[in-house]
Structure 1
Amino acid sequence: MSEFWTSLASLMGVWAFCQSLLHTLFPRELRFASIKILQRILHWASSYCYYDITEIDGVNTNELYNAVQLYLSSSASITANRLSLTRGLNSSAISLGISNNDRLIDTYGGIQVIWEHVVKQRQPQTISWRPLPEEKRGFTLRIHKKNKKIVLDSYLGFIMERASEIKRLNQDRLLYTNSRGGPLDPWESVPFKHPSTFDTLAMDPCKKYRIMSDLKDFADGEAFYQRTGRAWKRGYLLYGPPGTGKSSMIAAMANYLGYDIYDLELTEVQTNSELRKLLMKTSAKSIIVIEDIDCSVNLTNRKKSNGNVVREIGLDGPRPKKMRGEEGANTITLSGLLNFTDGLWSCCGNERIFVFTTNYVEKLDPALLRSGRMDMHIFMSYCSFDSLKILFKNYLEYEEGDIDEDLMKELREVIDEAEMTPADISELLIKNKRDKKKAVWELLEALRFKSEKKKEGNVIQDTRALETSPRQCGGGDQLVKQCQEISVENII
């Protein structure tokens, strides 16, 4: 045993002598240069190249690191064995990611790349004005040299776009509103939690499909709008009777695209300049909504003076134009509103949707309705039979085959004549949601009653028209008598 320790001590002495001799013959600079040359030789001989993406670039946060982390979270659950779970600020979703010092294989355009999440302990800091985290984090990307150009030209840009989309979908929607005399930021926001989707929207399925396709084409149409020289925006007009789901449609659009909503209250805006400032403060990927535009301002007040058209908007109906400097004067003009939706200022932002709603489309100025301002006019009609089946599924969890065929046939025959809104039908179903059969039968009775009242109203209108038309046409007493007899038969 003593001989072993003696031999070990001798070897350690020889190693110490060789080390001191090496340091004497090869100074530190020469050793460092030799190591770099060796690394270059190995790198040249290797068929792979490596890229490091650190969490902190100098003193700033590296946006590419956050983008890679978000992007890899979408595929981590498929290819990785060990995952880390996170939940971001203002997010209701849990994100997955690769764990520390673990690796993940990704495929892009048939090219295989390897990501490794490298986490090391940071050396103790000297005195610093900005303390750094204790751990040094980063991603290492390993790719084949022949794929270097493809990865640098398109793959990293694809990661940034995909990460931005994931971030938008994970974050909760925000609902903004404007207020007069508020803080520096004229928009105030609250979380938008409306559950309406196109699946739950009571509407004709074919019409919903066309709207969804149009929204999808718009969201994916950046290259198209740039190629054609058009501003990346689109306008929708939702019109129809009250209770037909116009607000629910807006919520479904926001949830479908993952956009925020700016609810613009025109009565809180004083001038065209203020209107432009509000537009400039809106973000991309947003829906700007003006509800009940026929009620909020008077857009039909076009007075002619000396042959010139005056387009002055009054909040309480037609009124004379106020003098400059008068307190409380609202000087929003139709021209200002048109420029807001389709002028030069509307182009100062990308991927924005304008939505106007009204109950009486005939009251709107034709200048608001043309293409470029309102590109798609969507009529929100009374509840149809297809819409009724969606309401049955939403409120009673009834599929089409769960209700008797004869009962469904009666509902189909009477639904169009009754002209009931989805809101009215929903209220009936909610009231009897605990007794599903009773809910269907009460709904059928209500539809029958509405249908009969509608028919009686139409007959009375026809009777009045027949009573007046012969005298207007000069048909004589005999013609009047015949028309009165026909009227009595129609009432019966």
Structure 2
Amino acid sequence: MPPENQLLFAALTAISVCFLVRFFLKTSILYLLRRWWKSMTDVFHAYQFYKVPQFNEHLQENQLYRKVTTYLNSLASSEDLEFANLFSGNKSNEINLVLDPHQTVADKFLGAKVFWNNEKSERDCSRVLVLKIRRSDKRRILQPYLQHIHAVYDEIEQRRKEVRLFFNAEAANSNGRWRSVPFTHPATIDTIAMESDLKNKIKSDLETFLKSKQYYHRLGRVWKRSYLLYGPSGTGKSSFAAGMAKFLSYDVYHIDLSKIQDDSDMKMLLLQTTPKSIILIEDLDRYLAEKSASGLSLSSMLNFMDGIFSCCGEERIMIFTMNCKEQTDPSILRPGRIDVHVQFTLCNFTTFKSLASSYLGLKEHKLFPQVEEMFQSGVSTLSQAEIGEIMISNRSSPSRALKSVINALQTKREIPGQDEVRQRLIKSGSGRPPPPPAAAPTTTEEEIESTSIFSREGGSHIKKLYGLLRAKSSRRGESLDLDSIEKENNLSHLQENQP
């Protein structure tokens, strides 16, 4: 090797050795300084330590140890550890992360940093979790931090539990009124064909409710919330209620009003429900219309919704479904009894695209513009269930499925009775038939009403007009029949055009 290369190699070697020595010394010094600082802070009692043993002196499991372990497993900092133990949980797809001995997990709460150490017990081979917290932060965050751990644990366990569906048996049954089966309904809020903004609003409302216990108690109100899902059959009301139960991991108590004998029977059923549950009553408008034939009175229903018996067990969601709420007694729907109103309309183009994506895997198709044009022209006579069934029957051919939907929309497009009136006008010699009546405006997206977080304007003039027509019809001793009014107008037009 030439002398100049030897000198260059020697210089590079010397530089590398110096760099490594400096890095080693710097790292070692920092490490020693950290250890010294830690020992000094411990010596001068800058930290307070709390032990959470796995078992008590009677070798019984410490429930707080289980809660803290579950809480630590849910922290993102636990996943950042260099190594950890993985164990299967109670469910087939559940995997739990368990700390190895002498590992430390850091956590932050209310701006303070705390540490959890996993150690061995000095008495036996059991484990001990040691909480390390600064003395200056102890009085400020210790109690709220432990309550936070309890709340997170309850939320995790609530999601882990098996959701069940309860239904009321006949009153004569001596084995109890409620029967239950596992609630395995596959629907979720995300799978329901409706506007994404509406879904997000309801999700946000449910999440806010779950965190509002102290707020409700401060107001002196029962910690519950009630929803009214209304709209034509087949628009997804029952499936959405199932999705809410899945979202909350709440048990569902489905009350069959036809099996309730009287008001006291309703009260007993309500007393036997549990917190963290959904109380579901479907087709409420039909039962209210038939209430005279049953022993259940309107006052009992009102007390069930917001009376003294509604507070028997908190953290509950009440869901009522009905097809039409216009004919319902306003006292049923007033604020305090129904908090959130959610309208489910017949299928529109937006929900149609959602159905096509879910049922047929279609994001776009050459027939979509034709379907959109039909919806924009006022065709909204098919429910989501009807269109979904057409797509299921033709799922092997997406094009055939879309054509079948178009044919179904065209078949239902004609208004019943319109052809008869048109033919009578032609025969009368009045010339060409009148243009088809303008289709009623369709709701292009589901609407949501609430007395507290949602608001909706509009519709007041229509309600006033409807009230005037109804009052006029009542004074004449006749019921309001919109079909009769339309036929009368058509006959008047026929007479005016006759020679």
TM-score (norm 2): 0.71
Structure 2 gap segments, 5+ residues each: 1-39, 423-435, 438-482
Match of 1:240 among 213, 218, 231: 231
TM-score (norm 1): 0.72
Say whether the 8 Å CA contact 2:67–2:153 is kept in structure 1: yes
Question: Structure 1's 88 and 260: CA in aligned 2 closer, same or farther, altered over 3 A?
Answer: farther
Please list, as runs of the form range in 1=range in 2, the aligned pairs for 1:2-81 lying within 5 A after superposition: 45-59=44-58, 61-75=61-75, 77-81=78-82
Query: Which structure would you say has the larger Rg?
Result: 1
SS in 2 for 1:99: coil
* AA of the residue aligned to 2:270: L
Residue in structure 1 matched with residue 134 of structure 2 by the alignment: 144
Q: Is it true that 1:372 corresponds to 2:336 in the alignment?
A: yes
* AA of the residue aligned to 2:402: V
Say whether the 8 Å CA contact 2:78–2:105 is kept in structure 1: no
Residue in structure 2 matched with residue 410 of structure 1 by the alignment: 370
Q: Which runs of 4+ in 1 moved over 6 A?
A: 41-44, 457-464
Q: How far did residue 80 of structure 1 move?
A: 2.2
Deviations 1:166-214 (A, max 9, x none): 1112223222222235566533322222222222211133333333333
Question: Structure 1's 99 and 393: CA in aligned 2 closer, same or farther, altered over 3 A?
Answer: farther
Q: C-alpha separation between the residues in 1 aligned to 2:227 and 2:486? A: 41
Question: Structure 1's 358 and 374: CA in aligned 2 closer, same or farther, altered over 3 A?
Answer: same
Match of 1:424 among 359, 382, 386: 386
Deviations 1:130-187 (A, max 9, x none): xxxxx52331111222221233121111111111111112223222222235566533
Question: Structure 1's 182 and 63: CA in aligned 2 closer, same or farther, altered over 3 A?
Answer: farther
Say whether the 8 Å CA contact 1:204–1:384 is kept in structure 2: no
Deviations 1:92-137 (A, max 9, x none): 53332323443322222332222123345965xxxxxxxxxxx523
Question: Structure 1's 261 and 466: CA in aligned 2 closer, same or farther, altered over 3 A?
Answer: closer
Match of 1:339 among 284, 299, 303: 303
SS in 2 for 1:238: strand
SS in 1 for 2:48: strand
Structure 1 gap segments, 5+ residues each: 1-40, 124-134, 302-311, 316-330, 473-478, 486-492
Please list, as runs of the form range in 1=range in 2, the aligned pairs for 1:254-273 lying within 5 A after superposition: 254-273=245-264
Q: How far did residue 52 of structure 1 move?
A: 0.8
Question: Structure 1's 363 and 84: CA in aligned 2 closer, same or farther, altered over 3 A?
Answer: farther
Q: C-alpha separation between the residues in 2 aligned to 1:184 and 1:230? A: 34
* AA of the residue aligned to 1:408: F
Deviations 1:53-105 (A, max 9, x none): 12334455433222111111112652323333345546853332323443322
Please list, as runs of the form range in 1=range in 2, the aligned pairs for 1:115-264 lying within 5 A after superposition: 115-120=116-121, 135-180=125-170, 181-182=172-173, 186-264=177-255
Say whether the 8 Å CA contact 1:93–1:170 is kept in structure 2: no
Instruction: Percent identity, please.
Output: 35
Q: Please tell me the root mean square deviation across aligned C-alpha atoms, in Å.
A: 3.1
Residue in structure 1 matched with residue 430 of structure 2 by the alignment: none
* AA of the residue aligned to 2:73: S
Say whether the 8 Å CA contact 2:167–2:253 is kept in structure 1: yes
Say whether the 8 Å CA contact 1:467–1:483 is kept in structure 2: no
Residue in structure 2 matched with residue 482 of structure 1 by the alignment: 496
Q: Is it true that 1:394 corresponds to 2:358 in the alignment?
A: yes
Deviations 1:35-60 (A, max 9, x none): xxxxxx99763322211112334455
More deviation, 104-113/87-96 = 87-96
SS in 2 for 1:345: helix
Question: Structure 1's 466 and 424: CA in aligned 2 closer, same or farther, altered over 3 A?
Answer: closer
Residue in structure 2 matched with residue 17 of structure 1 by the alignment: none
SS in 1 for 2:218: helix
SS in 2 for 1:451: coil
Q: Is it true that 1:352 corresponds to 2:352 in the alignment?
A: no
Question: Structure 1's 265 and 464: CA in aligned 2 closer, same or farther, altered over 3 A?
Answer: closer
Q: C-alpha separation between the residues in 2 aligned to 1:198 and 1:457? A: 41
Deviations 1:233-282 (A, max 9, x none): 12111122111101111012112223221111222333323322222222
Q: C-alpha separation between the residues in 2 aligned to 1:104 and 1:55? A: 17
Question: Structure 1's 241 and 464: CA in aligned 2 closer, same or farther, altered over 3 A?
Answer: closer
Q: How far did residue 469 of structure 1 move?
A: 4.3
Q: How far did residue 420 of structure 1 move?
A: 0.5
Q: C-alpha separation between the residues in 1 aligned to 2:118 and 2:292? A: 60
